[in-house]
Each structure stands twice: as C-alpha cells, then as structure tokens.
Amino acid sequence: MLLGVIVGFVAMIVLSPLPILGPILAGFVAGVITGGGATRGLKAGFLAGILGALILAVFTILGIGFVGAIACRPMMGAILGGSIGFIILLGGLYQGILGLIGGAVGGALRNPEK
C-alpha cells in the first residue's frame, strides 16, 4: 500500500495543474497500484491526497517564512506563512476527498469484490 500512496502522491504533484481531475486521477493511480479492492484503494487515494496537501502547506509555511526573514520581519513572515499554510491545508482536504473517490474506483476496477 505504501508504494501506491507514494506513486499517487507523485502523480498528484505532476497532475496538480488540473484542479479537480488531477486528484481524482492520482487517487485512481494509487488505487490501481495498491489493488485489494475498493476499500484499500480508497485508503491509498485518501492518504496520497492528504500527503499532497500537507507537503504543499509545509513548503508554503517555509517559503513565506523565509521571505519574511529576508525582509527583516521574521515574526511577520512566520505569522503570515503559518496562516496561509493552515488555509492551504484546510482547502487541500478536497484533494484527499477527490483522491479517495479516485482510489475507490481504481481499487474496484483492479480487483472487484464479489
């Protein structure tokens, strides 16, 4: 299942310019690679989506904090980076939900449960 989550995460990064279709396709890839039915596929798709949102939020926090430190206002950069990162993390939950849908479909197509 770990391989499916990692490949789904990489697919989510590559397909990130596609707002809704990207997370669904990345979850689908994670579900197909994981196999084991719809249940395992939806778990892999959801984890790939959440991992993508988490990494994006961390990079945003660090990037804006770094810019704030360069501008000689490190506390302002930390506050701004943290708040924007938190908003991105909350908004990124849609990636997990769409990845869950794609993963369930991919897992069900790979190994249909009878």
Q: How many other CB atoms are found less than 10 A from the CB of residue 23?
A: 31
Q: Mean pLDDT, to the nearest integer, of 59-75?
A: 73
Total number of domains in the chain: 1
Residue 114 has pLDDT above 60, yes or no: no
State the burial class of residue 1 (Cβ atoms within 10 Å of its Cβ: 0-12, 13-18, 19+): middle
| pLDDT bucket at 85, cuts 50 / 70 / 90 | confident
Question: Global pTM?
Answer: 0.79
Q: How many other CB atoms are found less than 10 A from the CB of residue 57?
A: 21
Vertex 93: Cα angle to 92 and 98 (nearest 5): 100
- Return the SS3 of 35: coil
Residue 90 has pLDDT above 90, yes or no: no
Residue 80 has pLDDT above 90, yes or no: no
- Return the SS3 of 59: helix
What is the chain's mean pLDDT, rounded? 84
Instruction: Write the pLDDT tens digit of every residue in 25-52.
Output: 999 999 999 988 889 998 999 999 888 8
Q: What are the phi and psi torsion angles at 44 (to 5°)?
A: -65, -40
Give the structural domain span for 92: 2-110
Q: Mean pLDDT, to the nearest integer, of 51-77?
A: 75
